[in-house]
C-alpha cells in the first residue's frame, strides 16, 4: 500500500523531524536553523497568534509516519493582504518528488482563503540556493528585486513575488421558506 500524504498544522512531535530536514538541507547555517526553530517554538506556544502559520507534509503508511517537509508563512505586518513565506524545506531525499510543490500550493490556497492577495519570498543568491531559486521560478514567482551584498559580501537578497487569485467563497445558503415566513410575520 502506498503511503498517504497529508498537510496539517505542525505539532510538538514534529519538531525533531523538521530539525533533521533543516540540518540535512545543506544550505542553512547553524544560525538559520536556530532561527527556524525559534519560529516553530513560537508557533507551538502561541499558535496563530505567533504570526507564523506552520504546517508539515506528512507521509502516513503501514510503517508509521514521517515528516517530509514543512512550511511557515504569515501576514506581513502593516500591510493589507500581503503575506511572507518565512520557511519552506523538504527532506533532501524527497527533492523533485512533488513535496515542495504540494506545500507551496497549499500555502497559496491557505493565504487566498484568508484574504491574502500577494506572497513575498526572500532568499539568498548563493550557489547552494540555485535549486531553490529555480523552484520559485517554476512555481510562478517573479524576481522583482535584488539587494546586492545584503547577507554578506557576494550574497545578494533576492525578492520573489506572486499575485494570488482571491479565494471564491461558497454562496451562502438561500434562506428557507420557514425563515422567510417568520421574517414576514414580524414586519
Identify the segments of the chain with pLDDT beneath 70: 1-2, 168-187
Residue 68 CB neighbour total at 10 angstroms: 23
* DSSP code of residue 63: T
- For residue 54, give Cα distances in angstroms to 58, 84, 139, 152, 180: 13, 12, 20, 28, 43
- The pLDDT tens digits of the residues spanning 26-65 come to 888 899 999 999 999 999 999 999 999 999 999 988 788 8
What pLDDT score does 176 carry? 45
What pLDDT score does 62 carry? 78
- Quick check: 68 and 91 in contact, CB under 8 A? yes
**How far apart (Å, rounded) are the C-alpha atoms in residues 28 and 92?**
13
**How far apart (Å, rounded) are the C-alpha atoms in residues 184 and 163?**
45
Amino acid at each position: 500500500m502506498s503511503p498517504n500524504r497529508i498537510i496539517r498544522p505542525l505539532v510538538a512531535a514534529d519538531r525533531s523531524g523538521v530539525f533533521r530536514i533543516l540540518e540535512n538541507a545543506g544550505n542553512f547555517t547553524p544560525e538559520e536553523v536556530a532561527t527556524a526553530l525559534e519560529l516553530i517554538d513560537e508557533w507551538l506556544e502561541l499558535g496563530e497568534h505567533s504570526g507564523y502559520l506552520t504546517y508539515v507534509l506528512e507521509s502516513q503508511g503501514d510503517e508509521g509516519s514521517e515528516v517530509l517537509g514543512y512550511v511557515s508563512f504569515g501576514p506581513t505586518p502593516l500591510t493589507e493582504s500581503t503575506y511572507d513565506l518565512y520557511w519552506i524545506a523538504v527532506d533532501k531525499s524527497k527533492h523533485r518528488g512533488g513535496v515542495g510543490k504540494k506545500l507551496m500550493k497549499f500555502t497559496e490556497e491557505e493565504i487566498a482563503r484568508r484574504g491574502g492577495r500577494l506572497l513575498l519570498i526572500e532568499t539568498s543568491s548563493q550557489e547552494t540556493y540555485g535549486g531553490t531559486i529555480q523552484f520559485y521560478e517554476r512555481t510562478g514567482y517573479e524576481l522583482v528585486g535584488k539587494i546586492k551584498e545584503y547577507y554578506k559580501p557576494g550574497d545578494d537578497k533576492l525578492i520573489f513575488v506572486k499575485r494570488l487569485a482571491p479565494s471564491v467563497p461558497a454562496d451562502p445558503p438561500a434562506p428557507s421558506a420557514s425563515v422567510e415566513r417568520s421574517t414576514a410575520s414580524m414586519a
